[in-house]
With several copies, the nearest count.
Chain A
Amino acid sequence: MKIIDSAELDAFREEVRDWLADNVPKDPRPHDGAAMRDFDLAWQRRQYDGGWAGISWPKEYGGRGASVLETLIWHEEYARANGPVSGSMFVALSHAGPTLINSGNEAQKQRYLPAILKGEENWCQGFSEPSAGSDLSALKCRAVIDGDHLVVNGTKIWTTYGHLAKQQELLVRTDPDLPRHKGISWVICDMETPGVEVRPIKAMSGLTHFAQTFYDDVRIPLSNVVGEVNGGWKVAMTTLGFERGTGTVPHQIELSKRTDDMIAEAKAKGLLDDATGADLATLKAEVAALRSLTVAQISRGMSEAVPGAEGNIVALQFAELTRRVNGYALELFGPAALERGGHPDYPLEYLECFKWGIGGGTNEIRRNAIGERVLGLPKGPSAR
C-alpha cells in the first residue's frame, strides 16, 4: 500500500494530457448507427496517427506497449478529458485483438492486427446463442469441414454492434460428438461473407446496439481458425486482457462524475434535504468503494499476470451501482427528468445502464463466480 510517484510517470501523464487536450473530438459522439461506427473508426485512426493506438498492446504488434501504470494513467486522463467510449471498436481492441496476439498465427496477426489499430476494421463477438444464453458450452452453431473451408450454419445473438462490424470472432461447434467443452472452434468470420445475415435488435432505450446473426452455409477458410480445430474453448478461455483491470477506469470515473454532478444539481436546485442528502451520501460512498475496488484490482494486476476472479466484484459493484445512480436521478429531479432529449438525457442514460449486469455476464453469473472462484464454494448440484 503506497503512492507510486516518479518523474517519468509524471512526464508521461503530461504527454498524455497534452495530446488528449488537442485531439479528443469536440463533436458529440452519435448514439448509434453507421455514423457512430464511422466516428469510432476515425477516432481510432487519430489515436493511431498520434502513436497511442493499442496503448497496452505489445510493440511488436503495433501497440504502444505501455506498462500497467502507463495504461492506468492513459485511462485516467482519457476519462478526465471526456474521451469517447471505444464503442464499436471495443471488441477489436479489448478482446479479439488480444486473443489473436495470444493464440493467432503470424499470418493472422499480420492480416488483422494493423487493420484494428488503424481503425480500418472493427470486430464483433459471436459467442451467445438464443438457446444457450449464459451457458457457452451449450452452443449449437455448427461448422462442418468441407475441403479447406468450414461451412457454418446456425445463429448467434446479443452480438454487440454486429450490424456495424467488419469481422467477427465466432465460436462454432466443429465436432458434436466430443464432450460439450471440446469440439468447439474459434473462427474469424468476415461479416460480408455470403450467407451471413444480420438482424439488428433495438434495445429498450431505443438505440440499436446489438444484433442477431444468421449463418446459412457460410464458407469460411480453414485458415481463419485461430488455434486448433476443436480447440476453441481453450482459445476463448485464455484470452488475456493486457489492460489488467484498467479498462474499467473510464466507467468508474464517469459514474463518479455523474454522481457529483447530480449532487451539485440537487444543491443548485434546492433539492438537498436530510432525506435526499442521506440517499446521495450513500451513493457517493458506494462510488468511492467502486473507485477503491478498481484501484485494488489494478494493484493486483501490477503483480499478477492473469486477472483474478476478483474482477467480478468490481464488475458487480459497477453494474448494480450504475443502475442505482441513474435511477436516483429520475426520482430526485421529478417529472421534468422523465423528458427525453435533455442534457443529460436522464431516461436514456438510465435505460442504457441496464445492459451492465445483463450483457457480458449477468449479476447472477458474477455472484456464482465470486462464490465459487473467489470464495472457493462448491459448484451447484447441477451444471453449475
Chain B
Amino acid sequence: MIVNLTPTEEQQLVEDSIRGLLAGKLPVDRLRESHSHGGAAERAIWNDLAELGLFGLGLAEERGGIGYGLPEEVIVAKALGAHLASPSIIAQMIAVHLADDATRPALMSGEARAAFVNAFDGGAHLIDGEGATHAVVVGQGGVALVAIDTLGTAEPVELIDETVAVAKVSTSASLSGGAEAERLSLLLATYMAGLAGATRDMAVEYAQTREQFGQPIGAFQAIKHQCADLALRAAGAETQCYHTAVTFGRGNDDGVEVACARLLAGEAALANAKQNIQIHGGMGFTAECDAHLFLKRSHLISMLGTSKAEVRKRILA
C-alpha cells in the first residue's frame, strides 16, 4: 500500500470551497462579539453548509450521500477547527452516518439539526444546542444519536470556553463503538489539528510583524525556535489525521491509528495554543486578541468523548 498525502484536484476543490465559505461567513474575529457565540453564526449559514454538501460528504451515494470518503471529511474538519466553528457542524456530519433511513434526509438537508452531548462520569454537557433536534452523545463507550427531547432538563452552565453555549443535561443513551465512533474521533482529532495549524499561523504572522529591540521578534531564535516547534506539532498531528483518513479500512489497525491521531492532535492543539499566547506576550493574555479562544476551544474539544487516559489505552490495545 502506497499512500499519497498530496490533495487530489477534487480534494483541493472541496478544501477551497469550504475555506472560501468560512473565510467569508465565519472569520475567527466574529467571536469577539457575543451575539455570534453559541453557534449563532453557524446557524445563520446552516443551509449554505447543507448546500455545500457538508452533511453527507463522506456518506455513500447509495445511502443518499455525496459519495466522498473520510479524506474529504477530514479536510472539512480541519478547516472548521481553523475557524473555531461550532462543534455542532461536526456533530451534524456524524449524525448522518448514525441516522436511520427515516431521519437521514432531514439531517442532510439541514432541516433537522444535531449538537453534541458530552457524557462523562457524573454529568453531561449539551454544546451549542439551540435549535437542535438531535443530539450526538459521545463518551468513553462511543457514540449514539438520540432525539433532543430524550435529554433531561437543560440547565445553563458556563464552561471555560465562553464562545459556546452549554447546558447541563442528563442522558441514558447507550453508546456504541465501531467504525462510526472511530470516524467521529478522527474528525474531532482533525478539528484539533486545525486549531494547532491556526495557532501556528497566528504566531508566525505575529512574529513576522511585531518588532522589538529593532527587529521582528521572529528574527530572535527564542521565538523562531518556538515557531518551529509549533510547526512540528501541527504537521505531526495533521499528517497523522490525513494518513489515518486515507488508510481507514485498508488493513491498518484503525483503532490504534485514530487513537494516535487523537492524542497527537489534542496535545498539539493545547501546546500550540499556549505557545501562541506566550509569543503574543501581553497582547496574548487579553480577551481582545483571538489567541485565548484557541486555548479554550482546545480544552473543550480535547475533553469531548474519549478521555486522554482511554485514548492512550487504545493505542496499546
User: A residues bordering B, Cβ < 8 Å?
Assistant: 1-5, 9, 69, 72-73, 128, 131-135, 138, 157-158, 201-204, 206, 263, 272, 274-278, 280-282, 284-286, 288-293, 295-296, 299-300, 302-303, 310, 313, 316-317, 323, 330-331, 334-336, 338-341, 347, 350-351, 354-355, 357-359, 362-364, 366-368, 370-372, 374-384
Within 8 Å of chain A (Cβ to Cβ): is B223?
yes
Across the interface, do A296 and B286 meet the contact criterion of CB distance under 8 Å?
no
Q: Are A302 and B232 in contact (CB under 8 A)?
A: no
Write the chain B residue with the least CB distance to A204. B292
Q: B277 in the interface, Cβ–Cβ < 8 Å? A: yes
Could you tell me which B residues sit within 8 Å of A by CB distance?
A: 1-8, 11, 71, 75, 118, 120-123, 125, 157-162, 200, 204, 207-208, 210-216, 218-225, 227-229, 231-232, 235-237, 239-240, 242-247, 250, 256-257, 259-261, 263-264, 274, 277-278, 281-282, 284-289, 291-292, 295-296, 299-300, 303-304, 307-309, 311-313, 315-316
- Pairwise interchain contact A359-B307, C-beta atoms closer than 8 A: no
Q: Is the CB of B309 within 8 A of A275?
A: yes
B229: chain A residues within 8 A (beta carbon): 367
Q: Please give the distance in Å from A280's CB to the nearest CB on chain B.
A: 6
18 contacts between A and B (CB under 8 A): A1-B6, A203-B285, A204-B286, A204-B295, A281-B259, A284-B316, A292-B240, A300-B6, A317-B232, A335-B120, A354-B284, A355-B285, A370-B232, A375-B200, A375-B218, A376-B204, A377-B207, A383-B214
User: Which residues in A have their C-beta under 8 angstroms from that of B208?
Assistant: 376-378
| Contact indicator A323/B122 (Cβ below 8 Å) | no
Q: Give Cα A374–Cα B5 distance, bound, in whole angstroms.
A: 18
Which of A69, A135, A303 contacts B213 (CB under 8 A)? Answer: A135
Q: Are A359 and B282 in contact (CB under 8 A)?
A: yes
Q: How far is the CB of B209 from chain A (nearest CB, A)?
A: 10
Instruction: Assess A278 versus B3: contact at CB under 8 Å? Given A334-B307, A371-B228, A380-B221.
Output: no
**Across the interface, do B288 and A202 meet the contact criterion of CB distance under 8 Å?**
yes
Given the interface pairs A2-B4, A286-B264, the reply to whether A336 lies near B122 with Cβ below 8 Å is yes
Residues on the B chain within 8 Å of A382, using CB = 213-215
Contact B8 A1 (CB under 8 A): yes
Contact A284 B2 (CB under 8 A): no
Contact with A334, one of B75, B120, B242 (Cβ below 8 angstroms): B120
Residues of A within 8 A of B259 (CB): 281, 285
Give the residues in chain A near B231, CB-CB below 8 Å.
313, 370, 374-375
The answer to whether B285 and A204 have CB atoms under 8 Å apart is yes
Query: CB-CB < 8 A to B264: which residues of A?
Result: 285-286, 288-289
Q: How far is the CA of A205 from the CA of B241 in the complex (A)?
A: 31
Contact, CB under 8 Å: B316 / A280? yes
The residue on A at minimum CB distance from B257 is A288
Q: Nearest B residue to A334 by beta-carbon distance? A: B120
The answer to whether B235 and A296 have CB atoms under 8 Å apart is yes
Chain B min CB distance to A326 (Å): 12
- Please tell me which one of the listed residues B228, B288, B296 contacts residue A375 in the complex, with CB atoms under 8 A apart: B228
Give the contacting residue for B260; candidates A277, A289, A323, A381; CB below 8 A.
Answer: A289
Asked if A367 contacts B237 (CB within 8 A), the reply is no
Query: What's the minimum C-beta distance from A27 to chain B, rounded to whole angstroms?
Result: 23
CA A341 to CA B159, docked complex, whole Å: 9
For A363, list chain B residues within 8 Å (CB): 278
Complex: chain A residue closest to B123, CB-CB: A336
Q: Contact: A340 with B159, CB < 8 Å?
A: yes
Q: Whole-angstrom distance between the alpha carbons of A115 and B125 in the complex?
A: 50
A127 to chain B, nearest CB (A): 12
Query: How many angstroms from the CA of A51 to the CA of B296 in the assembled complex?
Result: 44
**Which residue of chain A has the shortest Cβ distance to B168 in the bound complex?**
A339
> Is there an interface contact between A206 and B162, defined as CB atoms closer than 8 Å?
yes
Q: Which residues of A contact B220 (CB under 8 A)?
A: 364, 380-381
Task: Determine whether the beta carbon of A379 is less than 8 Å from that of B219.
Answer: yes
Closest chain-B Cβ to A136's Cβ sits at a distance in Å of 11
CB-CB under 8 A for A358 and B278, given A281-B315, A281-B316, A339-B159:
yes
Most B Cβ at <10 Å: residue of A303, A335, A355, A384? A335
Known interface pairs A299-B4, A347-B160; A364-B222 also in contact (CB < 8 Å): yes
A289 touches B215 (CB 8 A): no
**With A284-B260, A364-B223 as given contacts, are A201 and B288 in contact (CB-CB < 8 Å)?**
yes
Chain A residue nearest to B311 (CB atoms) is A281
Residues of B within 8 A of A289 (CB): 236-237, 239-240, 260, 264
